Amino acid sequence: MNIQSFLEHHGIVRNPFAEEDAQTDQVFKEYCISSAYHPVWDKVYGDPKDPSTAIVFGPKGSGKTAMRLQIDQHLQKYNKDNPAEQVFIIRYDDFNPFLDHFCERMSRRTTRKPEKVLDAWKLWDHMDSLLCLGVTNFVDDVVDAGKPDSKSSIDPAKLKKLDRTAARDMLLLASCYDQSTDSAFVTRWNSLRKKLRYGNWRAKWSCILAWVWSILVILFFALLFLRPAADSDSGDAAEANVVRAQEHFASVYPSATSVLATDSQVAPFSSTDAFPLKTGHTLVAEKTDEPAGDVAAAGESAGFFDWFNSVFQTRPAWKWLWLAPLVILLGCLPYLIRWVKCHLIALGIKKHMRVGKREVGSIRRVLMGIPAKELASQPLPRFDRTDDRYELLNKFQAILEQMGYTGTVVLMDRVDEPHLTGGKPELMRRFVWPLLDNKLLKHPGLGFKMMLPQELHRDMERESREFHERARLDKQNVIPAFQWTGESLYDLTRARMMACAADGASPEPKHLFADDLEYKRLISAFRTLRVPRHLFRFLYRVLVDHCNRYTDSEPEFQIKAETFETVHAVYDREANPTAG
């Protein structure tokens, strides 16, 4: 007998029990996500206008992932209905990329033992991971804002209203936490800068000065090489240059006279006399009708020419080349100091932001794009502490608020799936426990929805007093056991059957079974299954076993109690191998 024929007889056009995982369950995503709820839904979901923290402990298959998807879908709907009071969603459910980057920073000896790696995982690593997810998604929205085919929820008009401080904070966050691989990091950062209308010409001033200074120095030394060589027969090249300088002086000040004072003898000279200035000689001006100031200035001018020629013409130009690097270095010093500072900051970020992938050169390059005065004293993740992360989180929330996001919700799930934890309670505990900090869980405008395995609740009850004082679980909305009663599982089964029903049909779970199976027995059996995953798997087996007992020519459209009890007994032994 065909299963589809059996279902169609009851007005069901699609098998409601074929899927077991909420992430791939199309029946749940298309229909039940907005109609089937667990009794604790209201406590976990809370009020989006004021996000709160809720911690749910439940066994595998109990529907934690389904509830996380429901919260996600309801928050998206809330954002569409309230564009001025949206909630920013951070989906913290894929930990492998962060743990992989984290392991790369550990020694090879440490990575051999997962417990040692997870012992080094701290609260600031969780905060860095959350900021990586949030900043990357937000930068995606900002860069795509205003494009025709964009799904961005950012209003371009609000981007234009961002002040320079907010734009700088966003660029700082992007330089540390943007993990997108859609384009080159520096290219994407510059695209973000242009979107934010953040001008940074002042950041390039030291670089421009260094280039201009270097070019001028090179030109100066090039001119030394290009000066015509003095006649070798004239004796001393420097002497000829000094003569030309004195002739120029005499032509400008014809009434001025100069004499050479050697020992006690002074000799007058005319404007056409050429004489060498040697050590110990003194240039003397006689009393003339020219003002004394002009004569003194002329003497200083001649003195400069004398010094210049005596320094640069008495030796070949190539002997002065050693000065060029020193002079260039002097002009480039402001740029080099800024380069070294940004490089040290980049080294600190790479070392202490352990969950992201970033190169020192890329970080330094974008930091050089922010003026030094605006970069000074800004918090950056370059130390092993949470203070900087809290300040960066506050900056991120302030930017989100200007974009219309009044709150942030973190959806955490699937902590048993990373390869480093392997579903082992002791490893999951090492990974999750640092996050249970009341200061973060009660951070203003931030709410966590944590879906954790049931095993962790038992470990939590055995923790020390110090742990409970830090976590303050009494202030969080804790669901110690995500349980389903037989009646709630029956309602869930009915909701799935209604979702797969034909138009006008209203199938009931009890109508699938013969009259010899009482309603109370059905509820009791559902109660022993405990979680939706076991329920769907069991009902699918019941359908298969029943249809295998009959043919299409002689069908039977109600499942007998005998078939139900047989399959239930077998499944109960498989699901609870240690029972009894």
| Domain range summary for the chain, segments of one domain joined by + | 3-9+486-575, 39-201+352-479, 231-312
Neighbours of 154 (CB within 10 A): 20
The whole-model pTM stands at: 0.80
pLDDT at 238 over 90: no
Q: pLDDT-based confidence at 210, cuts 50/70/90? A: confident
Q: Is 489 exposed, middle or buried (0-12, 13-18, 19+ CB in 10 A)?
A: buried
Q: pLDDT-based confidence at 580, cuts 50/70/90? A: very low
Helices (H) and strands (E) in the chain, counts: 26, 7
Residue pLDDT, tens place only, 104-138 = 999 888 888 999 999 999 999 999 999 999 999 99
pLDDT at 317 over 90: no
Adjacent-strand bridge partners of 88:
408
Considering only CA atoms, which of 163, 189, 194, 191 is closest in space to residue 176?
189
State both tokens at 461.
Answer: 């009850």
Q: pLDDT-based confidence at 271, cuts 50/70/90? A: very low
> DSSP character for 34?
G
Mean pLDDT score, 207-220? 83
Lowest-confidence pick of 229-238, 428-437, 480-489: 229-238
Neighbours of 414 (CB within 10 A): 16
Predicted local confidence at residue 249, as pLDDT: 53
Lowest-confidence pick of 15-29, 79-93, 94-108, 147-161: 147-161
Predicted local confidence at residue 253, as pLDDT: 54
Between 441 and 108, the more confident residue is: 441
Residue pLDDT, tens place only, 4-14 = 999 999 999 99
Predicted local confidence at residue 547, as pLDDT: 95
Report the mean per-residue pLDDT for the chain: 85
**Residue 239, φ and ψ in degrees, nearest 5:** -65, -40
Predicted local confidence at residue 269, as pLDDT: 42
Predicted local confidence at residue 245, as pLDDT: 54
Between 531 and 205, the more confident residue is: 531
pLDDT at 438 over 90: yes
Residue pLDDT, tens place only, 338-352 = 999 999 999 999 999
Adjacent-strand bridge partners of 90:
410
Residue pLDDT, tens place only, 519-539 = 999 999 999 999 999 999 999
Lowest-confidence pick of 88-102, 297-311, 372-386, 475-489: 297-311
pLDDT at 477 over 50: yes
Between 501 and 153, the more confident residue is: 501
pLDDT at 264 over 60: no
What DSSP string runs through 472-538?
-GGGSEEES-----HHHHHHHHHHHHHHTBPTT----GGGGB-TTS-HHHHHHHHHHH-SHHHHHHH
Predicted local confidence at residue 267, as pLDDT: 44
Residue pLDDT, tens place only, 278-297 = 444 444 444 444 444 454 44
Between 580 and 104, the more confident residue is: 104
Q: pLDDT-based confidence at 179, cuts 50/70/90? A: very high
> DSSP character for 86?
E
Between 262 and 537, the more confident residue is: 537
pLDDT at 268 over 50: no
pLDDT at 370 over 60: yes
Please give the C-alpha separations between residue 428 and each of 40, 54, 119, 420, 572, in angstroms, as whole numbers: 24, 18, 11, 9, 28
Predicted local confidence at residue 284, as pLDDT: 42
Mean pLDDT score, 136-152? 86
